Chain A
Amino acid sequence: MNYSVDANGYYGEFGGAFIPEMMVPNIEDLRENYLKILEDPEFKSEFNTLLKDYVGRPSPLYYAKRLSAYHRTEVYLKREDLNHTGAHKINNTVGQILIARRLGKTRIIAETGAGQHGVAAATVCALMGLQCVVYMGKLDVERQEPNVLRMKMLGAQVVPVLSGNMTLKDATNEAIRDWINNPVDTHYIIGSVVGPHPYPDLVTRLQSVISEELQWQLQEKTGSPDPDYIIACVGGGSNAAGAFYHYLDNDSVKLVAVEASGKGIDSGESAATMVLGRTGIIHGSRTMLMQDDDGQILEPYSVSAGLDYPGIGPMHSHLYKVRRVIFEHATDDEALEAAFRLTRLEGIVPALESAHALAVLKKRKFGEKEVVVVNLSGRGDKDMAAYMNYMNDHQLF
């Protein structure tokens, strides 16, 4: 089975580049150059050096002993939370800033939900001395305040977006509009495997370092490069794409993607695109999409700002259709519970997004000897407000 993107930017029937003409020159420029740049030895060496010395890669693979005992299976955590800036997002921004420089761009724009991508973009802009503008839904500005402050300290301009329900989708709309209005000097560092071709492929390749490391780390720790399962949360799907990438052709490894079902699949307040969506076009990509009968995009909901998105990367839609990836979902409450379990058993405070992946350890049955890798995509500092609410509600003090 071929899971890679084709020459027209499609994964099976999904993907493509449904963009207004005003964006075509920039998208063409990127499309014609990204593979050349990614394969350039000079780029590779610069990228790998930054990943090692600046991001702190390889990120550890940690055997979570007490969590394993609790779930009666062998749980390994891929510690993307230990990266510089606290999430997997920096793998992508380091790569894209190097590409932006090679394309001669001097101004960077980004969208952000949880603020992790915004922080990662602001960070590499500070590092390279480039101007940075981050679009963030006003609701997310409020619920992820620590990250807003970090972006500001890093010198980025954070623009609160007031359209829609003021979350990730709306921030992405606004970033796209900015790019249309600034066609010459600006590169758009998109934060996930979404958007028009070549973004889904570009971001997947930049995040694929996660599964590249997993192979040798698992070999060292378990005697085999192949786990039984890899579990990752999915907003747009970049940490999942990175964690799955080198295992896609290896059918013995079961891949599990976890969407946010908010207050429950049937509650009307959810972000579980695969369950609730059907094929449509969002942000320049043909993919699974939450929409009404008239093709208007629905406003999603999740307690987790990073998963609060009505679409999903086109590669994941394809992997779902061809049944290579199993799709699960976790509610707000299941994720919060899983976050506290990890914290109290292992002393690790996960990001709310990553907690959705952890929740599946309880929702699915795994064999005692099975090796289950959970991609711990980020740390939870930004989510303290939500966690404090949960502690108050459940009298955990």
Chain B
Amino acid sequence: MNRINRLFQDKPGNILSIYYTAGYPSRDSTVPVIKALAKAGADMIEIGMPFSDPMADGPVIQSSSNKALKNGMSLKLLFDQLKNIRKEVDIPLLLMGYLNPVLQYGMEKFCSDCAMTGMDGIILPDLPLEEYLGESGSILSDFNHYNNHNHHNHHNHHNNPNLRTLFTLHNLHNIFLISPQTSPGRIAKIDSASKGFVYMVSSSSTTGTKGSFTQEQISYFGRIRDMKLKNPSLIGFGISDHGNFSAACEYASGAIIGSAFVKILSETKDMENDIRKFVEDIRGVA
């Protein structure tokens, strides 16, 4: 069973998922951060694949991505770093990033390397639902024809009708986002194409920390909860402390924290300890 499904089965609420950028703060911190988070009791981790132009991200993740790239981070290095991660960590791990580096790496190679390193899910905010389902004409086949001559053999790619088939083949869940502006019809379509969970963006915004939720956000959370989606949902973007984490947990199975955690990484002198404290603070352990 995919670890994401296992998690939601075993733990119906208060799920804490943490995003951070691979190769940040230093090139070799990718794995130590995962281990420290798992040890501190995070339920799930989203490993950011740094990109030069992260259009859905605010200043904190923009800057961690830049630093990670300067540190020499790449997908090739990331998969190398993650080679043995499943010997030590058993919580669900997802890769999150932008489409272009993945396409240049080669979609199929990316998926098989994800499977090989034991990844459970993928979040690519700029991969639209229609492209994933192959409704806009599959980008997969012609992409490989034009781009991947230098990466690996490119025969047979046209046999893949869409990304969904490919992801499913490797037991990878593609996670879709919804926002307060997403129409009910589209939410239903996203829910039906989703496996694992639905990523509820807390307000239409780029990533970054904000204060407590507005009335408008709360009513959006309630509206989605009442839709009784087939997938569980997690609320992300703008969650930074125990207050809005527990508020989010009242409406969804849990929440995702990114920028607030990346900020901790940028300041820490004692990583393992600070990560433990961060997770405790979020959970409100006295």
Interface residues of A (CB under 8 A from B): 8-10, 13, 16-22, 24-25, 163-164, 169, 173, 176-177, 180-181, 183-184, 278-284, 286, 289, 291, 293-297
Contacts and interface: CB of A to CB of B under 8 A. Distances in A.
A262 B66 CA distance: 25
B100 A291 contact: yes
Interface in B175-227: 176-179, 181-183, 186, 190, 201, 204-206
Name the interface size band of chain B: 35 or more
A8 B137 contact: yes
5 contacts: A9-B136, A21-B176, A21-B201, A294-B75, A295-B105
Contacts of A278: 146-147
A286 B98 CA distance: 13
B100 A282 contact: yes
Interface centre among B55, B136, B183, B190 (most CB of A within 10 A): B55
B90 interface: no
A24 B128 contact: yes
A118 B206 CA distance: 23
Given A22-B177, A181-B204, A181-B205, A281 B52 contact: no
B201 A18 contact: no
B190 to A, nearest CB: 8
B233 interface: no
Interface string B125-154: 111111100011101001100110010000
B125 A20 contact: yes
Interface string B99-142: 11111110000000000000000000111111100011101001
B51 interface: yes
A21 B177 contact: yes
Given A10-B137, A22-B181, A279-B143, A17 B205 contact: no
A281 B147 CA distance: 12
B128 A19 contact: yes
Given A22-B179, A296-B69, A286 B147 contact: no
Contacts of A21: 125, 128-129, 176-179, 182, 190, 201
A19 B126 contact: yes
Contacts of A286: 139
Nearest to B54: A173
A180 B57 CA distance: 10
B146 A18 contact: no
Contact of A297 (B52, B139, B150, B179): B52
A302 to B, nearest CB: 18
A295 B74 CA distance: 9
Interface in B44-67: 51-53, 55-58, 62, 66
Contacts of A289: 100
Contact of A164 (B53, B181, B201): B53
A380 B53 CA distance: 31
A13 B186 contact: no
